[in-house]
A and B are shown apart, each in its own frame.
Chain A
Amino acid sequence: MFWSIFVQSTAFIAAVVVLGGIVGWLTRSSVRRD
């Protein structure tokens, strides 16, 4: 039970974060550095 919930959640979190990372990388030129 623990591992199936762990794997399902990790897969979702990894997918969302990697997707976010890709969007962030594609839009990196819009980030300001003060």
Chain B
Amino acid sequence: MKIGILAAVLAYLVILVVGVGTWLARRETQHRAVEGDFALGGRNLSTPVVAVTLAFSVLGTAHILGVFELSWTLGAAAVWFSLAHVILLVVVCLSTGLWVRRLGVSTVPEILELLFGEKTRLMVSCVMAGVVAGLLTVETQGLGILMSTMTGWPLHEGAIAGGLIGIFYVIMAGMKEVGYLNVINAAVKYGGLILATLFLAAKLPGGDFKSVSDFYLAGGHAEMLSIYGTPTILMTFALGTVIAVVFSQGISQMLLQPAMGARDEATIRRALWIAAPINGMFGVFAVVIGLTAKSLPQFQVLGPKVAATTMLVTLLPPWLAALLLASFLTAVLSTFAMACLAPATLFSVDIYKRLYRPDATEAQMKFVTRTAIVVLGAIAIAVASALPPILASVNWLFSWLVPVFWVVIFGLFWQRNAAVAASTMLIAWLVNCAWSFTSLPALLSMNNVPNAYVTLAVTLAIGVLGNALLPGKQAYFKSGEYLARRVQVAIMPGAGAA
């Protein structure tokens, strides 16, 4: 066990969480708690906080450990996982993020109620909570891998320890503290990554990455060094990732929660200039580190999952290895925190307050949200300890949200027919499950077609045909209900649900 590194990483976390928490608590003792304070930061988050939270809430296990692993087989083209998120952030900062803020909602399913009524809201609420909770189990696995690197414990024990730290991290303050912590972490992570790349280059023959290039060129794999890879990689992996990421995360509670908590719409638009480069550039460093690990025989034998992290701990000076692991851990923790807060907020707002306690106070909501976080965290730890395959899970989970994205677009801008919306989502979800759990892809000779393509095709076919053939209510943004809602949100900007 690398006790020095582990102690330094944990000390960093505790000092950061307790320090920022104390500072925020002192600063806000005179402020009255308003509704939505815990989960949405009082709808007063500034541009840097919104930007860094947006960039970091989708910068978790897949971006770090997933890209290390992917670069092993795809080479530099693995950076498309990051580049797809740049396109996603443009979509969120210019459209869906603005709409959720404009409508003054606290959860994505609330939009579904405004558009299609209560039944559709509950249906989407349950599915979204399940999807984000599923992603939470993936993040918990990531925490497990990082804990294992530091402690030498088996992966499932690492996942338990990592999950417990994750629950501690998120339960301390909620959205606002996670937002502030992310700003500090962004600086640490970038400093750490740039330093790590420099130190890594210095350890290589010649003091640069030429030996890494030579390794791939000598093996006849020049395409591994270009982000455009081969035409096949570009059409399947790159384009497939862009579709899956943009149409699922574009409507995800996890990503839209910081936008809901923004001070105003202009704040969200300005956030794009900071969020997109932060998120996108991270992939460059991850890919370079992944490619380097494969080129060194002593780490190549460890395989794609742990080679890169082991290389960093082995080759870098201990203080830098600790700093880097601390920044990776906090990045995964940020995503863990958002993945915990989002379904917990869905539960407290959409189920507890909506169905059982419409008059719940902020203190009661905070208690219910925190309880939900602990329960969700415990479930995630249990599932992550069983170590399900990460990429297959993510592919399947992302595809659940593709029909929700399009149903919202149709309802906001075209027309609203609740039956068409519900049928579109149900059929797309059924096809998604059939694609993952039956031999349907093999029967159609479409084994290599990812779930996101299929759910997108089914969603567009049924959604467009249904809305073209059947009548519906006026598009929401053209309706009188929207104008009434605008007045209500303007009078009570802190209020969420209708």
Which listed residue, A4, A10, A21, touches B225 by the CB 8 Å rule?
A4
- Chain A residues, CB < 8 A from B312: none
A13 and B272 form a contact (CB under 8 A): no
Which secondary structure dominates chain B's binding surface? helix
**Is B201 located at the chain interface by the 8 A CB criterion?**
yes
A21 and B209 form a contact (CB under 8 A): no
Q: Mark A22-34, 1 if CB is under 8 A from B, else 0.
A: 0110010001111
- Nearest CB of chain B from residue A11's CB, rounded to whole Å: 10
Which listed residue, B210, B225, B264, B273, touches A34 by the CB 8 Å rule?
B264
State the CA gap A2–B86 with chains docked (Å). Answer: 20
- Chain A residues, CB < 8 A from B82: 9
Residue of B nearest to A6 (CB): B284
B226 and A16 form a contact (CB under 8 A): no
B269 and A31 form a contact (CB under 8 A): yes
**Is B170 located at the chain interface by the 8 A CB criterion?**
no
Q: Mark B458-490, 1 if CB is under 8 A from A, else 0.
A: 000000000000000000000000000010011
**Is B311 located at the chain interface by the 8 A CB criterion?**
no
**Is B9 located at the chain interface by the 8 A CB criterion?**
no
A2 and B493 form a contact (CB under 8 A): no
Count of A residues near B, CB < 8 Å?
22
**Is B18 located at the chain interface by the 8 A CB criterion?**
no
B265 and A9 form a contact (CB under 8 A): no
- Chain B residues, CB < 8 A from A21: 272-273
State the CA gap A21–B283 with chains docked (Å). Answer: 22
State the CA gap A19–B87 with chains docked (Å). Answer: 10
**Is B288 located at the chain interface by the 8 A CB criterion?**
yes
B264 and A20 form a contact (CB under 8 A): no
- Chain B residues, CB < 8 A from A4: 225-226
A16 and B87 form a contact (CB under 8 A): yes
**Is B228 located at the chain interface by the 8 A CB criterion?**
yes
**Is B213 located at the chain interface by the 8 A CB criterion?**
yes
Q: Mark B78-98, 1 if CB is under 8 A from A, else 0.
A: 010011001100100110001
Which listed residue, B79, B102, B265, touches A5 by the CB 8 Å rule?
B79
A32 and B102 form a contact (CB under 8 A): yes
Residue of B nearest to A16 (CB): B86
A23 and B94 form a contact (CB under 8 A): yes
B272 and A34 form a contact (CB under 8 A): no
Which secondary structure dominates chain A's binding surface? helix
B227 and A5 form a contact (CB under 8 A): yes
State the CA gap A7–B83 with chains docked (Å). Answer: 13
- Chain A residues, CB < 8 A from B98: 31
- Chain B residues, CB < 8 A from A6: 284
B272 and A9 form a contact (CB under 8 A): no
Interface residues of B in 105-137 (CB under 8 A from A): none
Do A2 and B79 contact each other (CB < 8 Å), given the known contacts A8-B227, A31-B98, A34-B490?
A: no
Which listed residue, A2, A8, A9, A20, touches B93 by the CB 8 Å rule?
A20
Do A5 and B276 contact each other (CB < 8 Å), given the known contacts A23-B94, A31-B265?
A: no
Residue of A nearest to B295 (CB): A1
B281 and A1 form a contact (CB under 8 A): no
- Chain A residues, CB < 8 A from B225: 1, 4-5
A33 and B276 form a contact (CB under 8 A): no
State the CA gap A34–B212 with chains docked (Å). Answer: 53
Do A5 and B93 contact each other (CB < 8 Å), given the known contacts A13-B83, A17-B86, A31-B266?
A: no
- Chain A residues, CB < 8 A from B486: 32
State the CA gap A23–B210 with chains docked (Å). Answer: 40
- Chain B residues, CB < 8 A from A31: 98, 265-266, 269
A34 and B287 form a contact (CB under 8 A): no
- Chain B residues, CB < 8 A from A27: 94
B276 and A17 form a contact (CB under 8 A): yes
- Chain B residues, CB < 8 A from A10: 281, 284
Residue of A nearest to B276 (CB): A17
State the CA gap A11–B210 with chains docked (Å). Answer: 22
**Is B277 located at the chain interface by the 8 A CB criterion?**
yes
- Chain B residues, CB < 8 A from A33: 264-266
User: Residues on B close to A: CB < 8 A?
Assistant: 76, 79, 82-83, 86-87, 90, 93-94, 98, 102, 197, 201, 208-210, 212-213, 225-228, 264-266, 269, 272-273, 276-277, 280-281, 283-284, 287-288, 291, 486, 489-490, 493
User: Residues on A close to B: CB < 8 A?
Assistant: 1-2, 4-6, 8-10, 12-13, 16-17, 19-21, 23-24, 27, 31-34
Knowing that A2-B208, A8-B227 are A-B contacts, what are 5 other residue pairs whose CB atoms are under 8 Å apart, sorted by A's residue number? A1-B209, A1-B212, A16-B276, A20-B272, A23-B94
